[in-house]
């Protein structure tokens, strides 16, 4: 497995732990369909949250969330709809999309930048 | 400094502000820069009619912030330049934008910024670079009642020329941020130096270098004393240009607003400025010059033209008939009002344009007409057409029309025997004394030199020349040698001659000489 995929995987694991610590329930991870992949699906109380995780070693290539452009946000909206259609049994009042930027410097604790309701 | 917050920032919609100056011509207005952080993916958007150079501030500010020990906020920034409808130009807003951006995340204390105005361009490395027009911008900030202005170190001396405002020079964004409350260690940087200072014209060419042509020199002194516009007609090699270049040296130093305006114009043109300019400027555009280069113009930012750069000094048009007629006629408004108002679809700018006009022309296309040592080969119609390019309304504003002839060998010998020639210093003494007399006489009027005085004032019964002196003038008028307008010009010149002679009112000889200065063939 490529180094970058490994990093992304670790970022997602850390984020899942962070969200659980917030009191959220993780519903699904790495869900795939024809349009792409959702990193994490979670329930924040009665609200369904589609979470996109971006992980970086450091800020040398900019802020992690800068990598999420309008096109990516649109795709996340499409994926959110697809996930709801595929899981009609899951009851939630509303759906929203959150972005989490994770900084994972070597030998240091991760830091999270959590942007709620990005779209 | 972990700018990456552990969770949502406590107040995700924070705003911050700073001030800058938008220049339009020599006047400026305060622009408020607001920066707001909104809950979107990171980015920077600039709104409020920026031009291209200003829109690129986004890239400069971002790099400068990151090279100054900060991180750009991890959210979307909207930067607004208010009033949003005023067009804004150039890179001088960079510093204000950076301060507003750093204020949104509290890296700079907003309370310490207060009403401070920021001026300067940012380099990618975070150093602050000088911009043109610092002096007029600082003057505008002081007039707007602001108490402090931050400028690039390279422009600190220039900015300090303005009274009534505290000037802070900063070499880098980091130094600036520390000054306004950022918790960082100072780092020494080499400040970016200002543009080279343009030395003032201290006339290195002296009047004494001119041999012969005593009449022309005297006419030059008269032009300097009364501020009269001057037309020199003569064959090639007669020394017209040589004479004209000596005129600024005869003029008195600039004072007050005229001096400050001249300095502001130099600053706006991108020259370094380290003191208030006091010597009258000199502009000699080539005859292919366009109307925009003479009057001022340009799309987007309106730049001053030659009439403005010559304000307070001399505008010399060599080979005047070769200029495009439209260009020559565009001089009429500034000649009349001393100001020039340049209008474009997007904006309007007013510039000072109180210059003394000196025109030089050959008498005909071949240049030999009227000379004793050459033969003119031009057809009469060609000759007429040539000088006809100088339009009547333009010539109307020119008091002195001088015929300059080539110096002959005999004149040269005589001049060498005559001993010392008039030096610039001695001639300027006479000019200053004459100007003092005129200013004293004109106390209580809106004018200070004879060239500005209108005919009605000159013809007032209280200011009649001596009785006998009027006779020759009236005779000339009766014989249609001069028009009524020409009559006024002769009177005006006669007063200047009287001022130079140190007498109370023009006598017979002053009027006679004034008639002669009006010249035979124009």
* Partner B contacted by A101 (CB < 8 A): yes
Instruction: Write out chain B residues lying below 8 Å of A66, CB-based.
Output: 41-43
User: Which pLDDT tens digit goes with each residue over B259-273?
Assistant: 999 999 989 888 888
Does residue A103 sit at the B interface (CB-CB below 8 Å)?
yes
DSSP character string of B439-489:
HHHTTTSS--SGGG--HHHHTSGGGPPPHHHHHHHHHHHHTTSS-HHHHHH
Average pLDDT estimate for A82-102: 89
Class of domain A3-115: alpha beta
Task: Round the average pLDDT of chain B to a whole number and report it.
Answer: 87
Whether pLDDT at A97 is above 50: yes
In this structure, are B27 and B169 located in the same domain? yes
Identify from B40, B58, B59, B77 which residue to disrupt to test chain A contact, counting A C-beta atoms within 10 A and taking the largest count. B40
Peptide bond into B399 cis (omega under 30): no
| Cross-chain residue pair A118–B5, CB shorter than 8 Å | no
Q: List the 36-75 stretch of B: residues with Cβ below 8 A of A.
A: 39-43, 71-72, 74-75
Structure tokens at B476: 């000339």
Split at pLDDT 50, 70, 90, the class of B7 is very low
Would the pLDDT of B232 be above 90?
A: yes
**Domain segments of chain A: what residues?**
3-115
Residue B310 has which token pair?
Answer: 């010559």
Residue of chain B whose alpha carbon sits nearest to that of A114: B7
> Do the Cβ atoms of A68 and B41 come within 8 Å?
yes
Both B288 and B328 in one domain: the answer is yes
- Taken as a whole, chain A contains a residue count of 119
Nearest CB among B4, B40, B43 relative to A113 is that of B4
Q: How far is B70 from chain A (nearest CA, A)?
A: 12
What CATH code is carried by the domain that includes residue B40? 3.30.230.10
Percentage of chain B surpassing pLDDT 70? 96
pLDDT on residue B5: 39
CB contact under 8 A, B39 and A112: no
pLDDT of amino acid B369:
85
Q: How far is CA A29 from CA A40, A65, B205, B237, B426, in A?
A: 5, 20, 86, 93, 95
**Is residue B264 located within the same domain as residue B226?**
yes
Whole-Å CA distances, B106 to B55, B96, B101, B146, B210: 24, 15, 9, 23, 68
Interface of A with B in 15-34 (CB under 8 A): none
The per-residue pLDDT for range B112-127, each reduced to its tens digit, is 898 999 999 999 999 9
Alpha carbon B156 to its chain centroid, in Å, reads 22
Last residue of a domain, one of B420, B446, B480: B420
Q: State ipTM.
A: 0.75
Across the interface, which of B2, B8, B42 has its CB nearest the CB of A65? B42
Nearest CA in chain A to B4: A113
Q: Are residues B59 and B167 in the same domain?
A: yes
Among A85-89, B42-46, B224-228, the range of highest mean pLDDT: B224-228
Instruction: Report the alpha-carbon distance of residue B417 to residue B413 in Å, rounded.
Output: 6
The alpha carbon of residue A89 is apart from the nearest alpha carbon of chain B, in Å, by 31
pLDDT at B440: 92
Comparing alpha-carbon positions, the chain A residue that sits nearest to B8 is: A114
Q: Which of A43-57, B429-443, B457-471 is the least confident region?
A: B457-471
Residue B392 buriedness (CB in 10 A; 0-12 / 13-18 / 19+): exposed
Residues B64-111 have pLDDT tens digits of: 999 999 988 888 999 999 898 888 888 899 999 999 999 998 888 888
* A8–chain B Cβ distance below 8 A for any pair: no
Give a yes or no: residue B488 inside a domain: no
Q: Quote the minimal CA–CA distance from A116 to chain B in Å.
A: 8
Task: Classify B284 in phi/psi space as left (phi over 0), alpha (psi -120 to 50) or beta.
Answer: beta
Of B2, B41, B71, the CB nearest to A115: B41
Q: Do A115 and B71 touch (CB under 8 A)?
A: no
What's the pLDDT band for B204 if we cut at 50, 70, 90? low
Question: The whole model's pTM is what?
Answer: 0.80
pLDDT at B202: 65
The answer to whether residue A59 neighbours chain B at the CB level (below 8 Å) is: yes
List of E strands, A34-108: 36-44, 47-56, 94-103
Residue with tokens 């119609």: B381
Give the containing element (helix H, strand E) for B512: helix B508-517
Q: Is the domain of B121 the same as that of B268?
A: no
Are A112 and A101 in contact by the 8 Å Cβ rule? The answer is yes
Rounded to whole angstroms, the Cα distance separating A5 from B353 reads 69
Task: Give residue B323's domain range.
Answer: 207-420
Residues 73-132 of B with CB under 8 A from A: 74-75
The alpha carbon of residue B199 is apart from the nearest alpha carbon of chain A, in Å, by 46
pLDDT per residue as tens digits for the range A2-12:
677 889 999 99
The pLDDT tens digits for B410-448 are 888 887 777 678 889 999 999 999 999 999 999 988 888
| Cβ pairs A/B, distance under 8 A | 44
Burial label, B439 (beta-carbon count in 10 A; 0-12, 13-18, 19+) = middle
* pLDDT (0 to 100) of residue B9: 44
A11, A22, A65, best to mutate vs chain B, most B CBs in 10 Å: A65
Q: Look at chain B and report how many structural domains it folds into.
A: 2
Per-residue pLDDT band at A76 (split at 50, 70, 90): very high
pLDDT at B406: 87
Which 249-288 residues of chain B touch chain A by CB within 8 A? none
Q: Given B7, B39, B41, which is nearest A66 (Cβ)?
A: B41
B13 in contact with chain A, both atoms CB, cutoff 8 A: no
pLDDT above 80 for B514? yes
In a domain? residue B40:
yes
DSSP-derived letter for residue B387 is H
Domain final residue pick, B420, B454, B477: B420
Domain shared by B325 and B255, yes or no: yes
Contact state of B4 with A117 under an 8 Å Cβ cutoff: no
B168 with B240, same domain: the answer is: no
For residues B519 and B402, is the Cβ–Cβ distance under 8 A? yes
Does any CB of chain B come closer than 8 Å to the CB of residue A69?
A: yes
- pLDDT tens column, B297-354: 887 788 899 999 999 999 999 999 999 999 999 999 999 888 999 988 877 889 999 9
Extract the runs of DSSP E, i.e. beta strands, from A34-87: 36-44, 47-56
Higher pLDDT, B2 or B80: B80
């Amino acid at each position: 497995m490529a180094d970058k995929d490994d990093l992304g995987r670790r970022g997602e694991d850390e984020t899942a732990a962070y969200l659980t610590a917030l009191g959220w329930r993780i519903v699904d991870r790495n869900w795939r369909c024809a349009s792409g992949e959702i990193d994490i699906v979670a329930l924040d109380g009665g609200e369904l949250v589609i979470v996109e995780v971006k992980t970086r070693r450091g800020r040398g290539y900019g802020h992690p969330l800068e990598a999420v452009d309008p096109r990516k946000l649109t795709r996340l909206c499409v994926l959110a709809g697809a996930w709801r259609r595929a899981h009609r049994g899951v009851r939630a009042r509303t759906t929203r999309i959150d972005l989490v930027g994770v900084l994972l410097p070597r030998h240091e604790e991760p830091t999270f930048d959590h942007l709620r309701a990005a779209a | 400094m972990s700018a990456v917050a552990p969770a949502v920032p406590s107040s995700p919609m924070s705003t911050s502000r700073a001030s800058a100056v938008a220049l339009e011509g020599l006047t400026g207005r305060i622009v408020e820069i607001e920066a707001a952080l909104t809950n979107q993916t990171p980015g920077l958007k600039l709104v409020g009619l920026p031009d291209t150079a200003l829109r690129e501030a986004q890239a400069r500010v971002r790099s400068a912030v990151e090279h100054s020990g900060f991180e750009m906020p991890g959210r979307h920034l909207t930067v607004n330049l208010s009033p949003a409808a005023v067009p804004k130009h150039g890179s001088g807003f960079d510093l204000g934008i950076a301060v507003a951006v750093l204020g949104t995340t509290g890296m700079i204390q907003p309370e310490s910024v207060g009403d401070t105005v920021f001026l300067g361009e940012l380099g990618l490395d975070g150093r602050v670079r000088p911009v043109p027009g610092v002096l007029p911008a600082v003057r505008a900030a002081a007039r707007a009642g602001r108490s402090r202005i931050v400028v690039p170190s390279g422009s600190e001396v220039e900015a300090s020329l303005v009274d009534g405002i505290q000037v802070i020079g900063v070499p880098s964004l980091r130094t600036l941020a520390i000054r306004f409350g950022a918790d960082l260690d100072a780092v020494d940087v080499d400040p970016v130096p200002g543009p080279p200072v343009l030395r003032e014209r201290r006339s290195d060419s002296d009047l004494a270098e001119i041999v012969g042509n005593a009449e022309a020199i005297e006419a030059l002194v008269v032009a300097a004393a009364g501020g009269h516009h001057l037309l020199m007609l003569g064959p090639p090699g007669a020394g017209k240009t040589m004479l004209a270049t000596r005129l600024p040296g005869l003029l008195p130093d600039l004072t007050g607003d005229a001096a400050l305006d001249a300095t502001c114009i130099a600053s706006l043109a991108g020259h370094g400025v380290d003191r208030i300019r006091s010597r009258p400027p000199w502009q000699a555009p080539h005859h292919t010059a366009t109307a925009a280069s003479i009057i001022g113009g340009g799309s987007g930012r309106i730049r001053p033209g030659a009439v403005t750069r010559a304000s307070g000094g001399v505008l010399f048009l060599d080979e005047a008939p070769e200029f495009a007629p439209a260009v020559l006629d565009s001089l009429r408004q500034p000649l009349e009002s001393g100001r020039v108002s340049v209008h474009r679809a997007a904006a309007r700018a007013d510039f000072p344009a109180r210059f003394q006009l000196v025109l030089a022309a050959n008498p005909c296309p071949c240049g030999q007409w009227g000379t004793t040592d050459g033969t003119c080969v031009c057809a009469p119609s060609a000759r007429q057409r040539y000088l006809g390019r100088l339009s009547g309304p333009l010539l109307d504003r020119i008091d002195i029309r001088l015929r300059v002839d080539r110096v002959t060998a005999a004149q040269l010998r005589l001049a060498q025997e005559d001993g010392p020639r008039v030096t610039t210093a001695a001639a300027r003494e006479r000019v200053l004394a004459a100007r003092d007399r005129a200013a004293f006489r004109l106390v209580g009027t809106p004018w200070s030199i004879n060239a500005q005085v209108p005919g009605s004032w000159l013809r007032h019964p209280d200011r009649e020349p001596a009785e006998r002196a009027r006779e020759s003038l009236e005779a000339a008028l009766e014989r249609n040698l001069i028009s009524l307008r020409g009559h006024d010009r002769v009177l005006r010149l006669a007063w200047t001659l009287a001022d130079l002679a140190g007498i109370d009112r023009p006598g017979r000889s002053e009027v006679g000489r004034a008639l002669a200065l009006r010249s035979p063939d124009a």
